């Protein structure tokens, strides 16, 4: 399980007083007023300083951001009072770069996947991107939330079908183990159906855990 610490890296809300919620929105902007200011984040309508925006973006892009095991932390500072907060996220995320969805395996994280495909020799492309970033938006993914709810309903229906078949076949359940009795022809068909339902549930569980609830939009335009 990998950790990206930010001031290094980012997302679920927790810690000193903030609570995560679906539908949250963050604007990450580099602001210049006369002399250069530290980049700020607007978190639920409040402005916070984020000192390491580039490290945040670098860590996200180079990570296996589609993994369930992803954990991100970013330290924030209240713009006026200088009080510190922590913003956290666990689970997969979706990244959009200039309006295009970033593939799970891409140029920026290829050192963790298929290096030969992208023939990376250094971080020059990533460095150039960081210099051009104008705006980053971190939002809850409405599509992801809707999809997760739909998958959750499918999982519930599948579990109910499994329980119904187990009762019909008069199977004994001991913890996570199903004890099979002598199976006649009628139960043979049900056994095949039961095995199919277990495979379906396994696939749905995987889809549920890998479905991103957070979307990050990076703009260089």
Dump pLDDT digits (tens) for 34-56. 445 676 666 655 667 777 878 88
> Residue 27 pLDDT > 50, yes or no?
no
Cα dihedral 31→87→21→27 (10° resolution): 10
Stretch among 148-157, 186-195, 212-221 having the lowest mean pLDDT: 186-195
| 172 vs 203 pLDDT, higher one | 203
d(CA 102, CA 61): 9
Dump pLDDT digits (tens) for 126-178. 889 988 887 778 787 888 999 999 999 999 999 999 989 888 887 766 666 66
d(CA 42, CA 77): 11
Q: Which pLDDT does position 77 carry in this prediction?
A: 79
d(CA 42, CA 169): 57
Q: How confident is the model at residue 197 (pLDDT cuts 50, 70, 90)?
A: very high
Please give the helix or strand (H or E) that residue 76 lies within, else none. Answer: strand 71-78
Longest dimension (CA), the chain: 83
Query: Which residues are paired to 33 by β-bridges?
Result: 35
Is-contact 88 19, C-beta < 8 A?
no
Dump pLDDT digits (tens) for 72-82. 887 777 777 88
pTM over 0.85: no
């Amino acid at each position: 399980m990998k950790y990206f610490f930010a001031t290094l890296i980012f997302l679920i809300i927790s810690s000193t007083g903030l609570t995560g919620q679906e539908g949250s929105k963050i604007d990450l902007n580099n602001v210049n007023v006369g002399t250069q200011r530290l980049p700020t984040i607007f978190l639920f309508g409040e402005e916070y300083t984020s000192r390491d925006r580039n490290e945040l973006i670098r860590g996200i892009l180079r990570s296996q951001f589609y993994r369930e095991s992803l954990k991100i932390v970013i330290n924030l500072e209240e713009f006026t009072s200088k009080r510190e907060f922590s913003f956290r996220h666990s689970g997969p995320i979706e990244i959009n770069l200039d309006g295009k969805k970033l593939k799970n395996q891409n140029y920026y994280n290829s050192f963790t996947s298929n290096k030969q495909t992208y023939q990376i020799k250094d971080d020059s492309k990533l460095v150039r991107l960081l210099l051009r970033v104008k705006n980053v938006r971190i939002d809850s993914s409405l599509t992801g939330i809707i999809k997760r709810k739909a998958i959750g309903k499918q999982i519930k229906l599948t579990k109910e079908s499994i329980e119904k078949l187990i009762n019909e076949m008069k199977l004994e359940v001991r913890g996570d183990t199903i004890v099979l009795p002598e199976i006649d022809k009628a139960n043979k068909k049900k056994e095949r159906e039961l095995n199919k339902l277990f495979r379906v549930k396994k696939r749905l569980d995987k889809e549920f855990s890998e479905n991103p609830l957070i979307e990050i939009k990076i703009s260089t335009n």
